[in-house]
Structure 1
């Protein structure tokens, strides 16, 4: 580590300590945090991070793998989906380090360096002839990008929401809406401008632009450091959760007291967060409450508590909160699988359609820009039109609950994938009519027939993705916000892996997705996914109806 970097970290630690000491004063609140700080974070995310860098790689990756590494349809789609999944799987790494040791800001800065390094390697592998067709350097760069970008994701969104007081729920909800919208506006730029540059000017320039913009983003993020509020890490959340399980198991033969006030609860400086002393005692998973039963064997000779034998009720409720989220969390995975089709199977479908628009050749990956446009247009409509109408009926702030909003999006995802199946059925019919079944060539059907499926996915994301992010942030314990956001983003990872798994298994069993899609049955694959989404919606409704929101 350089002297400059050590000095920067030292200054950061000093700043965190200073914020912690006077964080409750109105002077500090006026000088840091709020929309001033969150706007810098949003701006960084829009212009550079996910916009031009990650989205610029993701949108056209399947085309790069097919044209440069000469992979077939299933292998290219599988590799693209698996890589996208890894980008979100690594969110757990960033969340763990942020909550446990480094805090959000330091974690973001550290992994951004890895992120930039991966972009440089990928760009270099695309430009140098000796490395151009090397799968090793290509995937080395890609997976360094996935490690860096994935670890940044939960920290950046949590860091932005942390700029507001816990009592300012309206501002936090507005932040998540703007955050999600900014990511999609960024993706619009990536799926149009950057994809077009990659198609027309080559991959070297096409990858250089994301690398340059990600570097500028890093400088913008650090330039705003004096405006941010910093939350100190509270120790490893995984350790605290494991302590509850171990302590409860050791006391499985003890009976719970009738009065919950007799259960152990830390006071004052021993609490994990300032809100812990008022943690609501919930009836679910009552077995875990045994971890807070006080016994003589819980203390050493000096009177110190053995944390693996006695846990506070705050710790117990932390674990309960995470366990209650898991059934809902599982149902979001298939929605993410549908969304991942946009950068994999939908692109391959577009490659065998007529991409002409006058003399202009439309890049197959650019059609995903319509889902982004749908989000940009529909998100304000939702906030300005739908929410006020819903408020009059539900009499609640926000109109729809987080889970109601997410459930509508799950329903819309079924419509999206069904639309893709109908379009593919029509495309295959044209291929048969034109006697193109045995020719791996585009059929005379305009690529613009894909617009409805992309638009419907975009509308579904306005409901499900924003509702999911706000739900996980709102229902998580204060000390586990980054971990909870990582769980939310992990659904995107698992959704991509599910897509890869289904593609591989279905093609091995049925052969529906051959190299020549004109001789395949991609429509049946879409209908299969639609059926799985319908079953998933039923499970979501069941789990959501049994979920009990935590009290404010």
Structure 2
């Protein structure tokens, strides 16, 4: 019986078929290699189209420096707001795997539309010399693509690093040590993607053309999607735990109801018990602490 138990993870993770995750067949570096490849390509795509965006708005959409900078700032701010939506959807309903999968596809469609808007006649602004004359429809297509990308990155950014952490069983000492190495490689992959985007792709945009400058990030995003789905059979998935807002409300209500309850002298009585009543799907149990007296 003990041998059988050691085959599966003990942190509640399951495989893509919703069966208990097998330690030998799922997780660890065999799964993380796909996640790191996905992250590197996604960051290359993001920085590749975002780093030089002000110049595109000035040159192709004929915007002034102030308007172009303001539009890029608004878009960048949206990219940092949408992760709140992505994180909520992942934790409450879809789980990290399906959130990344769905939003990655939205991201890819946004990158594709952006590339088409800079290369296809009719979508691409017509230019006379150095002055371009975009129509309202062309501007609209460009901004639709831009904010599709903002929505897409909102589902990826908050989930990828924690999804990588899910591939290591916290209850296994060996795997727990490997997790710290994963984060080192994770941030290394981010910086590699950003380095290539900020140097090579910016040069291509300014010297070769915007069609290639946006087309290469679109291809990078396609590769990121392929990388992610290619590792599906090796992933460990944490089940979504329902709306965190509901659980926060439950804690607040319970804390007021039990204001007059005396704390037992035996701390073991304060631990959550291993039964269905105490179990929250997709969450790990927390040990008692003396640091917080109210909640």
Classify 1:33/1:188 alpha carbon distance in 2 versus 1 (closer, same or farther; 3 Å). Answer: same
Aligned match of 1:255 in 249, 256, 260? 260
Q: CA deviation at 1:235?
A: 1.5
Give the structure, 1 or 2, with the largest relative contact order (CA under 8 Å, sep 6 or more): 2
**Matched residue of 2:63: which SS?**
coil
Match for residue 192 of structure 1? 199
Q: How does 1:9-408 map to 2 (within 5 A)?
A: 15-19=16-20, 23=21, 28-46=22-40, 48-51=41-44, 53-131=45-123, 132=125, 133=134, 134-166=138-170, 167=173, 168-249=175-256, 251=257, 254-259=259-264, 265=272, 267-270=274-277, 271-272=279-280, 275-276=284-285, 279-284=287-292, 286-288=293-295
Classify 1:234/1:65 alpha carbon distance in 2 versus 1 (closer, same or farther; 3 Å). Answer: same
Classify 1:164/1:14 alpha carbon distance in 2 versus 1 (closer, same or farther; 3 Å). Answer: closer
Classify 1:137/1:31 alpha carbon distance in 2 versus 1 (closer, same or farther; 3 Å). Answer: same
Retained in 2: the 8 A contact 1:62–1:76? yes
Task: Give per-residue Cα distances to partners, 1:404-436, cap 9 Å, x unaligned.
Answer: xxxxxxxxxxxxxxxxxxxxxxxxxxxxxxxxx
Q: How many residues align?
A: 263
Query: Where do 5+ consecutive residues of structure 2 fail to align?
Result: 1-13, 126-133
> Within 2, Cα distance between the matches of 1:66 and 1:50?
24
> Within 2, Cα distance between the matches of 1:206 and 1:35?
33
Retained in 1: the 8 A contact 2:90–2:99? yes
* TM superposition score normalised by structure 2: 0.81
Q: CA deviation at 1:184?
A: 0.8
> Within 2, Cα distance between the matches of 1:91 and 1:194?
25
Classify 1:114/1:282 alpha carbon distance in 2 versus 1 (closer, same or farther; 3 Å). Answer: farther
* TM superposition score normalised by structure 1: 0.45
Indicate the RMSD between aligned Cα atoms, in angstroms. Answer: 2.3
Q: CA deviation at 1:107?
A: 1.0
Match for residue 365 of structure 1? none
Retained in 2: the 8 A contact 1:118–1:141? yes
Q: CA deviation at 1:243?
A: 2.2
> Within 1, Cα distance between the matches of 2:74 and 2:140?
16
Retained in 2: the 8 A contact 1:100–1:233? yes
> Within 1, Cα distance between the matches of 2:51 and 2:84?
23
Query: Where do 5+ consecutive residues of structure 1 fail to align?
Result: 1-12, 289-552
Task: Give per-residue Cα distances to partners, 1:341-364, cap 9 Å, x unaligned.
Answer: xxxxxxxxxxxxxxxxxxxxxxxx
> Within 1, Cα distance between the matches of 2:149 and 2:103?
9
Classify 1:237/1:192 alpha carbon distance in 2 versus 1 (closer, same or farther; 3 Å). Answer: same
Task: Give per-residue Cα distances to partners, 1:280-316, cap 9 Å, x unaligned.
Answer: 32433x333xxxxxxxxxxxxxxxxxxxxxxxxxxxx
> Within 1, Cα distance between the matches of 2:73 and 2:83?
16
Retained in 1: the 8 A contact 2:93–2:243? yes
**Which structure has more helix as a fraction of its residues?**
1
Retained in 2: the 8 A contact 1:16–1:232? no
> Within 1, Cα distance between the matches of 2:140 and 2:252?
42
> Within 2, Cα distance between the matches of 1:230 and 1:163?
8
Match for residue 3 of structure 2? none
Q: CA deviation at 1:55?
A: 1.0
Q: CA deviation at 1:144?
A: 0.4
**Matched residue of 1:108: which SS?**
helix
Classify 1:229/1:63 alpha carbon distance in 2 versus 1 (closer, same or farther; 3 Å). Answer: same
Retained in 2: the 8 A contact 1:16–1:231? no
Classify 1:30/1:80 alpha carbon distance in 2 versus 1 (closer, same or farther; 3 Å). Answer: same
> Within 1, Cα distance between the matches of 2:166 and 2:111?
29
